[in-house]
Amino acid sequence: MANTTEARAGSIDRIQQNVLARGERRLLNWICPRLPLWVTPDRLTSFGIVGALMIFAGYAASGFGANWLWLAIAGYSIQWFGDSLDGSIARWRKIERPSFGYFIDHSCDGITTLLILAGIGFSPYVRLDVALVAMTGYLLLSIHAYLSVHVMGEMKLSYLAAGPTELRFVLIGLTIAMYGLGTGPGWFGAISGFDIFVGTVGLILIILFLVQTATVARRLASRAEQR
């Protein structure tokens, strides 16, 4: 008899409507058959965590010099490669481990989020409390996505036509702006433009969490009434 958790994890309806989804999928499908056999899903997951550590180090060290921000930018590319390909290569080679992969992948997503936003908060460009607002918003939305898997059988991978890949591009753009504009005084005294941007993104994520929670609650209530 199949394990119930395995069956549920394998039958998740993945909802991905971000702008770059189709192009990214074509690229991943092109890369998968060209990877050597020693490049395993577990190694790719570890590679993604290495990229997240590079991002953290680049931001945290940027107080010693703006050139450290290039380490963070390189880290985003490495983190994308590992995070996007670990599941793709498992599906391509038909060696999926649904429950294990689901657990490890999303656990690593939480660690990655912590490393990125803690690094941004430890940088001289964004206040730590503002970065924590953004982290709260992202993790709340992640919690919503994980709960939806179990109550709706749906994994929502994008919001407002944006997913993790689009968010990486936004963060790379933010990092380039940090490098170009520096840490000079902001228009609002102690609050810089970077603080406003990161804080606004965090608030948008929190609002999305509230809206999506209300939406799913209504759908569940409607299902209950129809029984």
Domain boundaries, the chain: 13-226
The pLDDT, as a whole number, for residue 226 is 72
Tell me what pLDDT residue 113 has.
Answer: 95
Rounded distance between C-alpha atoms, residue 43 and residue 149, angstroms: 26
Topology annotation, domain 13-226:
Four Helix Bundle (Hemerythrin (Met), subunit A) (1.20.120)
> Given this model, what pLDDT does residue 7 score?
37
pLDDT (0 to 100) of residue 163? 83
Taking alpha carbons only, the member of 70, 65, 192, 171 closest to residue 113 is 171
| Predicted model pTM | 0.88
How many C-beta neighbours within 10 Å does residue 13 have? Answer: 11
Mean pLDDT for the chain overall: 88
Q: What pLDDT sits at residue 1?
A: 30
What lies within 8 Å, CB to CB, of 155 at 6+ separation is 12, 13, 14, 15, 145, 148, 149
Angle between helix axes 21-31 and 69-92 (nearest 10 degrees) is: 70
CA distances from 196 to 114, 123, 133 (A): 20, 15, 11
Least confident of 1-5, 11-15, 70-74, 129-133: 1-5
Average the pLDDT over 169-194 and give the result: 85
Which pLDDT band, with edges at 50, 70 and 90, does 185 fall under? low
**Does the pLDDT of residue 45 top 50, yes or no?**
yes
pLDDT of residue 104: 93
